[in-house]
Amino acid sequence: MNDKYKNAHTHIFTMHNAPKDFLQLYMPAFLAKRVDTFTNTEAGAWVIRQAAKLNSGMFKRYATFLQIGKSSDQITVFENLMSRYPNETMQFITLCQNLEYLGVGRSISGFEGQIEEVLSIKKTYPNDILPFFGLDPRWKSNGTEIRKTVESYFETKIEVGGTQVYPFHGLKIYCSTGHYIFDEKLKETFEWAAENGVPVMSHCYYLGGIYNFDKNYISNNLNIFDVYANQRYIVPKFIEEGKWISRKLNLNRKANCRKSCSYFLEPYSYQSMLNYFANRPDKLKICFAHYGGVNQIRASLGLEKDNEQKAPYGVAKINWFNQVQNLMAQHPNVYADISYNVAEALEKKNGNNLLYDVFLKEAKQTYGNQILFGTDYFMTEKDSLEQDAVQGFRNYASQNYLSNGNNLWEQMARTNPNLYLKSKYYP
């Protein structure tokens, strides 16, 4: 099992597993409802299928993204993902996400329904899928209940071909949905994870991805108690930008919610938790997905003109790519993956090799064992097709060697993921 290459960051959830008004996070409400309604019809589905068959272009990519997201179930999405690697021996970390608390409604399946689908896929493809369990402090009433429920899911083996296998191999957390990593209700679960070697994957893309759309909720939860630092976490107020009339009419609500959620997500806010586990015999393995984001990487190189990227929102107000670098240098149990960045690098073309050169340089640092290959399928489909992004990076990575004799692809797609995954539940 461990000799296979690994894509450390993929998604297979469908719109059935996402909140009712999920698309409103990314487009105006009136348009989101029309797109959602149209693509649910036979005519709409036909249009999407035809557009996805085009040879190339933005319309093809967006159609492919919607087609995957509108799939009837997660096994269809997973099989679509595997089909992108016809000549590859690959395992896929699939990240379950609890999307029930975003302020845009609840999902059709519910979080537990999403998990049951994934368990069914694990029975069908036990050696191909490596599921990570979605974690959110709002899921249960207290930390002990969360830990016991998570442990029960991990410990309940499933039967595959006459043998018993563990169903889950890690935890997925997404703080920009409206909570901090140091939330008291998560502490017991993280301690259990550290004791058993269970890795954690945490979203970390500046101003990118899913966020909470409830202004009042965000405002009321920005300054909660940090259980590891034993003091309240102090941040500025909810961000209110835009002209007075725009704020009055709530025209800037979406942008301000996304920016304010940066406080929950900023790598700096993880410092107290990482220091806590650094002083314990069992270290917590945690991966900062996306390495802060391609624009933060570019900003660190002086290539970003956007002031929001040069002076990011947060408590530390330091470049997020550099923040993650610092945490990796301090803590050998901290990882980063390059997911989504490989797709954006390919799409932008200008700077494609430059970003690859950054990844190579990072792998040559003292924390070169801590960088993982991943793509963020299917979220990347609107930027570049999975197979194109993977092939572009692999061609480069396979030709560049490290001092230990591994090429960059071998190190990031096999050696490092095996270190990250090793646990009671992934021997």
pTM for this structure? 0.92
Residue 41 in domain: yes
Residue 229 in domain: yes
Closest CA to 248 of 257, 240, 258, 239: 240
Digit-coded pLDDT (tens) for 164-212: 999 999 999 999 999 999 999 999 999 999 999 999 999 999 999 999 9
Burial class (CB in 10 A: 0-12, 13-18, 19+), 139: middle
Digit-coded pLDDT (tens) for 273-301: 999 999 999 999 999 999 999 999 999 99
Q: How many structural domains compose the chain? A: 1
Tell me what pLDDT residue 216 has: 95
Closest CA to 351 of 402, 301, 385, 310: 301
Residue 356 in domain: yes
Residue 427 in domain: no
Residue 426 in domain: no
Residue 140 in domain: yes
* Domain range for 109: 5-421
- What is 323-373 written as a DSSP string? HHHHHHHH-TTEEEE-TTHHHHHHHH-TTHHHHHHHHHHHHTSTTGGGEE-
CATH number for position 322: 3.20.20.140
- How far apart are alpha carbons 90 and 94 in whole angstroms? 12
Residue 119 in domain: yes
DSSP conformation class of 415: I
Tell me what pLDDT residue 15 has: 83
Contact yes or no for 195/278 (Cβ under 8 A): no
Show the tokens assigned to 297: 């990487």
Query: Helix %, strand %, coil % for the chain, to 5?
Result: 45, 15, 40
Residue 196 in domain: yes
